[in-house]
Amino acid sequence: MNILPFLGIGTAVAIGTGIIAFFYHKGKSLEKTPISFSEFTNQLGKQIDRYMLDEEKRKNVDMYGGECTLSIHENDPENVVMDIVLYGKKKDSSDEKWIKSNITQRLKLSAFTDDSETLSRLEALKTTPEKFKVTRPEKE
């Protein structure tokens, strides 16, 4: 679902914050096993989906999606920065305000494999951030 048309309809935006416990901290990093860029983006997508479904249950909201931006900042060259913005609305409420969750996570470059695809994708993030549309996941 494309979230951008919703922003243009003049509804107020409520700002909230959220945290995704990135999978890497609980799984592969404990094993010290590097991860490819493709596996990283795959697992990140699954974590965002899980977060959205959990938020729907925990806060009684309908999550609609958002955007994820991956980058390597000049002032933080040792980390891939994941900036995630998600939008939702309270269920069963006459309140038309959007709920906006801003999530920022970091993953050390040393956590990645040194295959050519991963290295080239990481190098590209230093000059051009990658943006991904986040769509609403299927309910479990």
pLDDT tens digits for 52-73? 999 889 988 999 999 999 999 9
Q: Is the residue at 140 inside a domain?
A: no
The answer on pLDDT for 39 being more than 70 is yes
Residue 51: inside a domain: yes
Half-sphere exposure of 17 (CA within 13 A, CB side): 3
Q: How many domains does the chain have?
A: 1
Q: Report the predicted TM-score, pTM, of the whole model to 2 decimal places.
A: 0.77
Establish if 78 belongs to a structural domain.
yes
Q: 40 in a domain, yes or no?
A: yes
